[in-house]
Structure 1
C-alpha cells in the first residue's frame, strides 16, 4: 500500500471492514434465525405433546395398558394428529420406554430412544436428539392419572432436516440484508474516498508528511511575518516573525493542529485597531502601512483559496508583515536634512539679495547706508539663532527649529519659538524629540499657510516638575471635534488632495508622533484656541543616557 494515495488506502481498509462486518452481521442473523426456528419448533411440539397427554383417550388407554394393548386404539389417533399438526412423529410410551405408537409401525414395541428422566419426574421438557428417524427436536410430556400417577409419556417431534427447510425460507431475507449492508458500505467508502482524494490532492501519508515538514521549515525560516486568519476571524497560523513584529508572545500555532484553530480570534490579540480590522475583514491589501506601538509595518493580504472538486472556496486570508521601522527612521532623518537644506537654500537666496543690495549701495557711494543695512540684517538674522542656541541646549532640536523657521518664512508664516526649560538631564532621546517637534511643526505650518493673515506658528517648550511639556499652536482653521481622535490614526488627513501622488505619506506624521509619545510614556492632547493646539507631555528620564 506504500504507493497508494491516502484515499486509496482508506477505501481498501473500509471495504475490508465492511466485508468483515457484513459477514459478522450475516452470521449473527443466521444464528438468530436458526435459534428462533428451533425455539418455535420446540414450542409447537411441546403444545402438541401436552394436548395428547391430556387427551381422555390417551389417559384411558394408558390406564388399561395392563389388561390390553393401547396400540390399536392410539396408533390411528396419533397418525391423524401427525398429519394434522404437520409433525414427523408422535410416540406414546409406557414408563419403561416401551413404545405404544410410532410413525414407523415396525418400531412399535421397541424401547424409546431419548431422555425420559425429567418426564418421569413429572416435568415436561424439550431436547434435540438423534433417534430412529434421525436428529429431531422433540418434547416429552408425562401422562398423569387422576390420582397423579404417571401412566406413560408422550413424545412429539420434528426432524432437524424439516427445521432446516423452514430456516432456508428465511435465508433469502438474511442474505438480502447482508448484501444491502455490503453495497451501502462500499458506496459510502467510494464517496468518502473521492472526497479525501480531492482534499489531499491524491497525496499519500508519506508525501503529506514531507510537505508538512517543508511547510514548517518555511514558516520558521522566512524573515517576513505570516498570519493566516480563517473566515471566522480566528488565527490559524502565526509564525515566530509575526509574533516578534507585533510584540506578541511566541505562539504555539505556528503549525496547524488537529484540534483546529488555537487562538480565540484576532480580537484577543493586542493589535492596533486598523490592523485588527484588516485581518478580520479578509479583504485584499497591497503595501498598506500600519503603525504599532514601536514599529511601522507594511502589510499585504490576499484571500486563501482551496480548490476542491473543481470548485474554489475561500477559507480565510493570508497576511504578510514587513518591518519598515528603520526605513521610516531614515526617512525622518532625510526629511530633517531636507528641511535644513531648504532652509540653507532660502537663506542663501535671501543673503544673495541682501548682498546685492549692499554692493549696489557701496557702488553708489552710500557707505553709511550700506553699513547700517548690513548691521540691521545681521541683528535680525542672528536674533532667532541666538534665542534658540541660548534656550535650546539640544543642538539637533535647535537646528531643526531654525530650519523650520526658514521654511515657514518662505511660505509666509511667522514661527515663534520659546524654550524656557533645559533639556539636559531629561534623558529624552534626540531622535524622538525630532520626530515629535518636526511633525507637529510641519502640520502647524501647513495649517497656518492655508489660512488667511496673520499666519503664525508658535512653539513653546517648558519643564513642569518631572515632565517636559511641548506645545505647538497655529493660526489655521483648527480641527473639528469629531476629527480630534481620527487625525492621530495612520492614513487619516484633513489636508486636501492635490496632484496624483498627494496620497503618499498622508496621515503618517501625527501617527508617528502618537507612536513616539506612547513609546516614551507621555501623553498627547489636542485643543483649540484661534487654531489647533497640540500639547505633548513627556516624563523625564533623569540619569538615562541620551
Structure 2
C-alpha cells in the first residue's frame, strides 16, 4: 500500500513561519525586558519607602519604650497597625535584642525568631533586600533600635546606646502578571501592534522573494541547480559565462582546461586572468563572428558567443568553446592529400597538353619537330629536377617543391628556388613539419601572386631555405599585393590566410603555421617588400622541444 506524503510547505509559508517565530522571540524578549525594568523600579522605589519607614519607627521613643515594656505586644500593636494602614506596606515586625519577635502586624509571628537578611553581619547595622517566607517573597528593610545614651547623671545626652531590638518593614513583591500589568498600561497594545507589523512584513518579504525566485520553491531551485551542474560538467564543450563587467561567473572543467584557467577563476575579470588579444575580443563581444577561430596555448578553438538579456537589461554573455586542434591536424593531412590530387591533376593536364602537341605534329608530318619538342621538354624537366635536388637534399621537401612548381605553373606563377638555398637531409618528424609550414606559405604566396600577375609583370614566388647547426629558416617571397600593415601583427594570432585577409574571412592555415613553429621553438613573421609583395619568414629549431611548448 502506497504511503501518501504530506504536501511540503511552500517557500512563502516557510518564510512566514520563520518570521513569525522571530516576532514571537522578539515579543518574549521585550516582555522579559519590561519585567526586568519593572522589578528594578519596584526594588528602587519601594526599597527606599520601606527603609524610610523602618528608620522612622526605630527612632521613635514610643517604640523604644514599648520594647522594654513587660507586655510589648499589647503596647506596640496599635502603633504598628496605624503605621501599616498609613504606609500601605505588607508587614511590620519588631524583635528584641535576642532576635525574638515581640510585636508584629501578623500576630502569628510573635514568639518566633526573626529572620535576618545579613546572617553573619552585625545586628546593629541596617539591611534591605528580598526575603522569602511562607507568604511569598517580600522586599524588606531591617533597622536596629538603639537606646538613648545617658551621661553620668543618668540624663539623656543625645548619643546612641545599646542595641535593644530590630524593626523590620516588608512589602510583598508583585507577581509576574502584576508586573506585566503594571509595566505599562499600553504594553498589550504595543505587543499587538508589533505582532501585526511583524506578520505583515513577513508576508511582504515572502511575496518579494517569491517574485525574485520566479515562483520556484526551494526544492525546485535545488533541482535546477543540480541539473545545471550535471549539464555543464557533462558537456564535451567548454562553457564560459561572463557578467557585464567581464568577470567570470561560471566556467566548466572543459572550458577551464581549454583556456588554461586556474581553479579559482570564478569571480575574476579577464584582465586578472591574463586573457588578452583575440581571445578577449571574442569573449567580450568585440568580435561578433560566428564560429570564431582562436589559437590559445597550442590549441585551435572555435568559439560562439551569445549575449544574455532580460527585460532589456544585459546580464552578461555565455560563450561555448570547441577544441578543433585534432580537426585542424586532420584538415592539414587532408590538405596534403588534396595537394597531391591537385598536383596529379595539374600534371595530367600538363602531360595531356604535351601529348596533344606531339600528336598534332605527327598528324601534320613534322617528325623532326616532334623530336626537337620532346628533347626540349626533357631538358626542362632535368633542369628543374637538378635545380631543386642540388640545393635541397631532403627528399620530402624536394618532392614538395617539385609538386608546388607544377601547381604554380598551372596558375601562371613562376616558383623559383633561391640560389642561397641549402637544406640537408632532416629527421623525418622535422622534415614533415617543415614540409607543412613550407606548403602553407607557398600556397598562400601563390594565391596572392596569382591575383596580381599581368602579362607585363609576371607573377612569381621565391623560396629560400637556410640551415645552420641549430635551426632551419624558411623564407617565402611573392609578387602579390602584400599584407595590410594593420594585419601584419595580428594575421597569425587571428588565423588569417593571405587570401582570406583580402576577403575579410578567417582561416587556420597561418595559425597552424605559427603553432608548428612555436612547438619547434621558433616563430613566424611577415613583412612587406619595398618593391611590392610580402615575405614570410619562419624559423624552427632542429632540436627536440617539449610537446605543446609555446
1:121 aligns with 2:124: yes
C-alpha distance in 2 between matches for 1:117 and 1:238 = 74
State the 1:300 CA deviation: 2.1
1:437 aligns with 2:438: yes
C-alpha distance in 1 between matches for 2:108 and 2:343 = 141
C-alpha distance in 1 between matches for 2:13 and 2:416 = 82
C-alpha distance in 2 between matches for 1:184 and 1:382 = 103
State the 1:440 CA deviation: 1.3
C-alpha distance in 2 between matches for 1:223 and 1:109 = 94
Which residue among 246, 265, 273 is the counterpart of 2:277? 273
Which residue in the other structure is 2:539 paired with?
537
Change in 2 beyond 3 A, CA 1:416/1:6 = farther
C-alpha distance in 2 between matches for 1:192 and 1:472 = 72
State the 1:353 CA deviation: 4.8
**Gapped runs of 5+ residues in structure 2?**
149-158
State the 1:428 CA deviation: 0.7
Change in 2 beyond 3 A, CA 1:6/1:241 = farther
TM-score normalised to the size of structure 1? 0.75
Which residue in the other structure is 1:202 paired with?
216
In the TM superposition, 1:25-174 aligns within 5 A as 25-26=29-30, 28-49=32-53, 51-53=55-57, 58-59=60-61, 62=64, 79=82, 83=86, 87=89, 97-99=101-103, 115=115, 120-128=123-131, 136-144=138-146, 145=148, 146-150=159-163, 152-160=165-173, 168-172=181-185, 174=187
C-alpha distance in 2 between matches for 1:14 and 1:37 = 35
C-alpha distance in 1 between matches for 2:112 and 2:46 = 19
1:462 aligns with 2:466: yes
In the TM superposition, 1:299-448 aligns within 5 A as 299-303=303-307, 316-389=316-389, 391-394=391-394, 396-418=396-418, 419-425=421-427, 427-430=429-432, 432-448=433-449
Are the aligned partners of 1:25 and 1:178 in contact in 2 as well (CA < 8 Å)?
no
Which residue in the other structure is 1:294 paired with?
298
**Gapped runs of 5+ residues in structure 1?**
254-260
State the 1:409 CA deviation: 3.2
Which residue in the other structure is 1:508 paired with?
508
Are the aligned partners of 1:290 and 1:299 in contact in 2 as well (CA < 8 Å)?
yes
Change in 2 beyond 3 A, CA 1:274/1:153 = same
Change in 2 beyond 3 A, CA 1:80/1:228 = same
> Which whole-Å deviations, capped at 9, do the CAs of 1:2-35 have from their partners, x for residues lacking one?
7426735742662464266246415522541342
**What secondary structure does 1:428 align onto?**
helix
Change in 2 beyond 3 A, CA 1:65/1:162 = same
**What secondary structure does 2:321 align onto?**
strand
State the 1:297 CA deviation: 1.9
**What secondary structure does 2:291 align onto?**
strand
State the 1:36 CA deviation: 1.5
Are the aligned partners of 1:82 and 1:89 in contact in 2 as well (CA < 8 Å)?
no
> Which whole-Å deviations, capped at 9, do the CAs of 1:379-433 have from their partners, x for residues lacking one?
2245324433554455554444334333433444321025521233364152x33
C-alpha distance in 1 between matches for 2:89 and 2:9 = 61
State the 1:67 CA deviation: 8.0
Which residue among 223, 247, 255 is the counterpart of 2:236? 223
**What secondary structure does 1:169 align onto?**
helix
State the 1:39 CA deviation: 0.8
State the 1:189 CA deviation: 4.7
Are the aligned partners of 2:247 and 2:269 in contact in 1 as well (CA < 8 Å)?
yes
> Which whole-Å deviations, capped at 9, do the CAs of 1:452-495 have from their partners, x for residues lacking one?
72532210122211222211122345446654312222255776
TM-score normalised to the size of structure 2? 0.74
Q: Give the superposed CA RMSD.
A: 4.7
Change in 2 beyond 3 A, CA 1:86/1:491 = farther
Are the aligned partners of 2:495 and 2:509 in contact in 1 as well (CA < 8 Å)?
no
**What secondary structure does 1:226 align onto?**
strand
**What secondary structure does 2:423 align onto?**
coil
Which residue in the other structure is 2:152 paired with?
none
Change in 2 beyond 3 A, CA 1:454/1:7 = same
Which residue in the other structure is 1:523 paired with?
523
C-alpha distance in 2 between matches for 1:45 and 1:269 = 77
Are the aligned partners of 2:142 and 2:168 in contact in 1 as well (CA < 8 Å)?
yes
Which residue among 460, 484, 489 is the counterpart of 2:493? 489
Are the aligned partners of 2:445 and 2:461 in contact in 1 as well (CA < 8 Å)?
yes
Change in 2 beyond 3 A, CA 1:185/1:438 = farther
> Which whole-Å deviations, capped at 9, do the CAs of 1:196-236 have from their partners, x for residues lacking one?
5543853444x666655554444444322333444554545
Are the aligned partners of 1:336 and 1:400 in contact in 2 as well (CA < 8 Å)?
no
**What secondary structure does 1:291 align onto?**
strand
Change in 2 beyond 3 A, CA 1:201/1:175 = same
Are the aligned partners of 1:53 and 1:142 in contact in 2 as well (CA < 8 Å)?
no
C-alpha distance in 2 between matches for 1:109 and 1:292 = 100
Change in 2 beyond 3 A, CA 1:513/1:121 = same
**What secondary structure does 2:521 align onto?**
coil
> Which whole-Å deviations, capped at 9, do the CAs of 1:102-141 have from their partners, x for residues lacking one?
6x9xx69966995368694332334446699x97533232
Which residue in the other structure is 1:241 paired with?
254
Are the aligned partners of 1:45 and 1:156 in contact in 2 as well (CA < 8 Å)?
no
State the 1:438 CA deviation: 2.0
Are the aligned partners of 2:397 and 2:431 in contact in 1 as well (CA < 8 Å)?
no
State the 1:376 CA deviation: 1.8
